Amino acid sequence: MDAIHELVANDRIVGGIDETSTATAAFYRQFVTGKFLITDSRTAELAKLTENSFRDVNIALANELSRICDHLGVDIRELIRLANHHPRVEILSPGPGVGGHCIAVDPWFIIHSAPEQSRLIHVAREVNTAQPEFVVAEVGVEAARLRHPTIACFGLAYKADIDDLRESPSVEIALRLAREGGGRILAIEPHIETLPTPLAVADVRLCGVDEALAEADIVLGLVPHRAFQKMSRQALREKIVIDTCGLWQ
- Catalytic residue positions, numbered: 48, 102
End-to-end, the C-alpha distance of the chain in Å comes to: 26
Q: How many CB atoms lie within 10 A of CB 15?
A: 19
Between CA 114 and CA 122 the distance in angstroms is 10
**Strand-pair category, 150-154 with 36-40:** unpaired
| Rounded-to-integer distance, Cα 149 and Cα 215, Å | 9
DSSP readout, 142-206?
HHTTSSS-EEEEE--SSSTT----TT-HHHHHHHHHHHHTSSEEEEE-TT-SS--HHHHHTT-EE
Contact (CB, 8 A) for 216 and 150: yes
Q: Is-contact 156 165, C-beta < 8 A?
A: yes
Query: Cβ of 230: how many Cβ atoms within 10 Å?
Result: 8
Q: Are 96 and 245 in contact (CB under 8 A)?
A: yes
What DSSP state is assigned to residue 116?
A: G
